[in-house]
A = this chain, B = another copy of it.
C-alpha cells in the first residue's frame, strides 16, 4: 500500500536471498575462498558452506582446490561462478549499428560482434532479422552449443519495461514496437528476453564493471546524435513508472533555443548534441563521429573556431549538468558517448562553469570522469540485465532454464 512497506520474509525467501547474495558476489567480485565469502556476505561459515554446495550442485559455481601459494597450512578451495555453463546473449540496437555479445556468468565476454548499418536499414523486420543473424554468428564463434539463460537488449529509445515494448525511438522512427515478443519468436530460445534503454544500461554497466564500481550515486550522460542519460541513486537505477526515466536530453535549458525533434524547444540535446557541436564548428551537422574527431584535431592544432565551439559545448554541458547535479547530488558524473572523447578538451571549462551553475556544497564534492566502457557500455549493461533474474532467484531460474530446454 505504501512506498516503503515490504512483505514479510519466509524461510524460503531467506535462503533465496542468501543464495543471491553469494552468487552476486561471485558474479561481480570474482573468485573467492569460503572465508572471503563469509567476510563479504556477513553469513556464518556453515551457511556459506551449505549455500556454496547448492550453487555447485545447480551448476552455477565451481569449487576448486587452489594451488598452494607456499604459505603454511592447507590451501583453501577457491569458488568461482561457472562461466562456461551459464551464458547470456546481450544485444544492442543503436542508430548506426547493431551489436551483440555472449557473456558468461562472472562477466567473461566469450564472443562479441558489431555490424554497422545504414540508417535506412532501421525497419523493425530488418532489425529483427539482422539481430538473429548476428546472434547465430555469435553462436558459431563459441566452442559449444549456446542455450542462453537470458537475453538482454539495449535499445536507443524509450522502453516500456513491463511489456518489453519500445514505446518510442525517434532516431529509428519506431513507435510501440513489441521488440521483446518479436525476438522471443525469432530467436526461439526458451530464455527470458528483457529490453531497456541503452543509456540506462550503460549507466548500470559503469556501476558494475566500469568507472563507478562501488559508487551509489551516479549520473551518466552520453553524447550521441541525441543525449542519453542513466541515473543510479542510492545504489538503484532510476527507472520511473514505465521505464522512461533518464531522458536528460529533453530538459529545457534554453526556452528560446532550437526546435527539438521531440516537439519541444531548447532541449539540452539541441544545445550539446553532436549536430550542435558540428554546426558551431562550421561543419555539416551530419558529419558524425568523424566530424567530431576532426573538430578535436583542429582544436589540438589551436584552431580558434574549433576551440570556440568546444567552449560553447562546455558551457551548455555545464548548464544542464548543473540542474542534474542539484537534483541528484551525485558523487560522480560519467561522460559517455562522444562526451567521453571531448572530456580532456572541455573538462576545465565545464568545472569552471559548473561552479556557478550548481550549488557549492554539491559541486565541491563532485567527481566528473569519462566512461571506462565507452561504446561497450550498453552491451555490458544488457548482459547484466540478462543475468538479473538468475541473480534474483538462482535455483528458480535454473529450474526454469532446464525445463525450457529443447528435449
Question: Interface on A for B, CB 8 Å cutoff?
Answer: 1-11, 14, 17-18, 21-22, 24-25, 28-29, 40-44, 47, 158, 160, 167-168, 207-208, 213-217, 229, 231-236, 238-248, 250-255, 262-265, 319-320, 322-324, 326-331, 356-362, 365
Contact = CB atoms under 8 A, between A and B. Distances in A.
Contact of A242 (B8, B254, B329): B329
A327 B242 contact: no
A241 B2 contact: no
B9 A320 contact: no
Contact of A244 (B8, B10, B29, B359): B359
A28 to B, nearest CB: 5
Contacts of A243: 329
A322 B47 CA distance: 50
Contacts of A331: 241
A9 B357 CA distance: 43
A241 to B, nearest CB: 4
A326 B362 contact: no
* Copies per assembly: 2
A234 B245 CA distance: 11
B323 A252 contact: yes
A356 to B, nearest CB: 6
A47 B241 contact: no
Given A8-B17, A168-B361, 7 more contacts: A5-B25, A7-B42, A8-B47, A10-B42, A234-B236, A239-B329, A247-B359
B29 A6 contact: no
A224 to B, nearest CB: 16
A234 B239 contact: yes
B263 A356 contact: yes
A2 B28 contact: yes
A28 B43 contact: no
9 contacts: A2-B207, A2-B214, A8-B43, A10-B44, A168-B359, A231-B327, A241-B331, A253-B255, A265-B356
A361 B327 contact: no
B1 A213 contact: yes
A233 B240 contact: yes
Nearest to A217: B241
Contacts of A330: 240-241
A240 B328 contact: yes
A214 to B, nearest CB: 5
A150 to B, nearest CB: 16
Contacts of A42: 7-8, 10
B361 A158 contact: yes
Nearest to A175: B361
Contact of A8 (B22, B246, B248, B328): B22
A47 B8 CA distance: 10
A22 B263 CA distance: 48
B253 A216 contact: no
Nearest to A251: B323
Contacts of A207: 2-3
Contact of A18 (B8, B241, B253): B8
B8 A326 contact: no
A255 B254 contact: yes
A251 B328 CA distance: 11
A197 to B, nearest CB: 11
A248 B251 CA distance: 12
A230 to B, nearest CB: 11
Contact of A247 (B44, B167, B239, B327): B327
Contacts of A208: 2-4
A264 to B, nearest CB: 5
